[in-house]
Structure 1
Amino acid sequence: MKIYISADIEGTTGITDWEEATKTHPTYMEFRERMTDEVVAACEGAIEAGAREILVKDAHSTGRNIIAARLPDCARLIRGWSGHPFSMVQELDESFDALLFVGYHAKAGSDDNPLAHTLRLRVMHLAINGEIASEFQIHSYAAALVKVPAVFLSGDAGICADAQRIVPGIVTVPVSRGIGPSTLSIAPGLALKEIREGVTRALKGDRAACRLALPGHFTLEIQYTTPVDAYRASWYPGARLAAPRTVQFDSDDYFEVLRAIKFMA
């Protein structure tokens, strides 16, 4: 079994403030360790389920957060960013049996996590076909392009609920929930146990039930915090300025939507 893991930090257990996700701040080290621990737990769960090859994408900020020396021998790690439109699932293709999301977070505008956002802080919201989208939705749709099911997600309670709505068969592990600028989290050790067991359960379950069918047409809408960003993005081929801070783009091909997001968001 060949498994892909996309890992972020803003949905790791206990993280509460942007300082803890910022490489130059002293408190970042604790959450770099926690992000690594949760990825390792996911790897262990995958190996228990029969995985023999695991590809991990470090998908937070610089893409250089996970402590590689702690990964199992069957895992490979993508660090940094290639610029490919698949972004947080770079190198995902038809050869993978399943996609796992670890440490994911609520979408921009949500109150489920003090660090809720979608891709960039300058994006107020990003909608696909009129529905405000999370990074999970953007990249689970990318997985659907190559027919790979998204079977597991860990993160805050908001993104877990979102994932279950989009992929009803997905296994989720909520490790925290936001309360204004604070969070209420489970113990880190319990999170590792639940991630490990949840991944094993997801991979031993009906993975095909988690395979998404994509819509036939896509309308992408990005609302920015400033009109300056919207004006600049409106010059992307096919994009149009829908309002002073809002740009829209239409396509029947989701890869073209991903390409537009790469250059516009």
Structure 2
Amino acid sequence: MRLYISADIEGISGVVNQCHVSAEGQDYFRARTLMTNEVNAAIEGAIEAGVKEVVVNDSHGPMTNILIENLHPAASLITGTPKRLGMMEGIQSDFDSVMFIGYHARMNQPGVLSHSYHGRVITNISINGMEVGEFAFNAFLAGHYHVPVMLVSGDNILAEEVKAVNDQIETVVVKYAQSRYAARSIQPCIVHGRIKDAVKQIIQREDLLKPCRIEGPVSLEVTFIHSGMAEVASIMPGTEMTAPNKVLYQAKDIQEAYLARAAMTYMAGSIL
């Protein structure tokens, strides 16, 4: 069995504000350690359940956060940017399952550090009229390759978001949002045990899980912080401005929509 893990940092226990998630933050190195340890808990559970190969994709910011020297030796690590598929770089149909560790709620939800790919650029993303954040869009991309998402960890608001998309996905709540920049976090040593146990249990019923699929063409609409960003994004061929700060793209499938979102984000972010 081959397992793919996409790991973010905002949904890690103890991580609550910019000092944890930015390289300039005074607690950034601590957060990197916390992130690495939560990923290790998932890997340990997977290996004990019989998984033969684990690929971890570092999916936060510059994507150089996980401390490879402290990562479980059973896993290989994808780091750095740019990556064509970003948070899902390396996903292929030969993986048996996907897990998202340290994920967060989408923009405009009351979760800790909630955002959608780039908080200073994007305020909303919809696919075929459905509002999505990183979890859902990434899960649908995995589904494009017929790979199911087995488990997601993060705060309680994210857990609600996950269940609304697919209630068969296992969720591990590592903290409870008190506000955008505050949380009641569960002790890391307890979180690690819960993640490890959840991974071992969900792998036992892996055959029952279904991929999150969107069949056929995808209507992608991205809402930007302001009109200038939308104007820059609309330079991309195939786009249409539907409002001063909204850009629409009609994609042939979810993978093309995913790439279009990434391209528009890079373009719009160029005028920050």
If the length of structure 1 is used for normalisation, what is the TM-score? 0.95
In 1, are the aligned partners of 2:218 and 2:253 still within 8 Å (CA)?
Answer: yes
Q: Which amino acid aligns with 2:248?
A: Q
User: What is the correspondence of 1:79-98 to structure 2 with a 5 Å cutoff?
Assistant: 79-84=79-84, 86-98=85-97
Q: Which runs of 5 or more structure 1 residues have no equivalent in the other structure?
A: none
In 2, are the aligned partners of 1:167 and 1:210 still within 8 Å (CA)?
Answer: no
Q: Secondary structure at the match of 1:259?
A: helix
- The structural deviation recorded for 1:248 is 1.0
Query: How many residues in Structure 1 have an aligned counterpart in Structure 2?
Result: 263
Distance 1:176 1:207 in 2: 29
In 2, are the aligned partners of 1:151 and 1:207 still within 8 Å (CA)?
Answer: no
Distance 1:29 1:83 in 2: 23
- The structural deviation recorded for 1:49 is 1.1
Distance 1:183 1:210 in 2: 32
Q: Secondary structure at the match of 1:104?
A: coil
Distance 1:129 1:174 in 2: 29
User: What is the correspondence of 1:35-50 to structure 2 with a 5 Å cutoff?
Assistant: 35-50=35-50
Distance 1:28 1:243 in 2: 38
Distance 2:192 2:74 in 1: 19
User: What is the correspondence of 1:1-265 to structure 2 with a 5 Å cutoff?
Assistant: 1-84=1-84, 86-113=85-112, 115-121=113-119, 122-180=121-179, 181-265=181-265
Distance 2:43 2:83 in 1: 26
Q: Which amino acid aligns with 1:139?
A: N
Distance 1:250 1:99 in 2: 27
Distance 1:23 1:261 in 2: 25
In 2, are the aligned partners of 1:155 and 1:175 still within 8 Å (CA)?
Answer: yes
Q: Secondary structure at the match of 2:255?
A: helix
Moved more, 252-261 or 92-101: 252-261
Distance 2:7 2:88 in 1: 9
**Per-residue CA shift, 1:37-62, capped at 9, x if unaligned?**
00000000110111111000011111
Q: Secondary structure at the match of 2:11?
A: coil
- The structural deviation recorded for 1:164 is 1.8
Moved more, 171-180 or 56-65: 171-180
Distance 1:99 1:58 in 2: 14
If the length of structure 2 is used for normalisation, what is the TM-score? 0.93
In 2, are the aligned partners of 1:104 and 1:155 still within 8 Å (CA)?
Answer: yes
Q: C-alpha root-mean-square deviation of aligned residues, in Å?
A: 1.3
Distance 2:246 2:207 in 1: 37
In 1, are the aligned partners of 2:229 and 2:245 still within 8 Å (CA)?
Answer: yes
- The structural deviation recorded for 1:95 is 1.1
Q: Which runs of 5 or more structure 2 residues have no equivalent in the other structure?
A: 266-272
In 2, are the aligned partners of 1:101 and 1:152 still within 8 Å (CA)?
Answer: yes
- The structural deviation recorded for 1:25 is 1.6
Q: Which amino acid aligns with 1:105?
A: H
Q: Which amino acid aligns with 1:242?
A: T
In 1, are the aligned partners of 2:215 and 2:253 still within 8 Å (CA)?
Answer: no
- The structural deviation recorded for 1:216 is 2.8
**Per-residue CA shift, 1:93-112, capped at 9, x if unaligned?**
11111101000000011112
Q: Secondary structure at the match of 2:209?
A: helix
Runs (4+) of structure 1 exceeding 4 A deviation are none
- The structural deviation recorded for 1:208 is 4.1
- The structural deviation recorded for 1:139 is 0.8
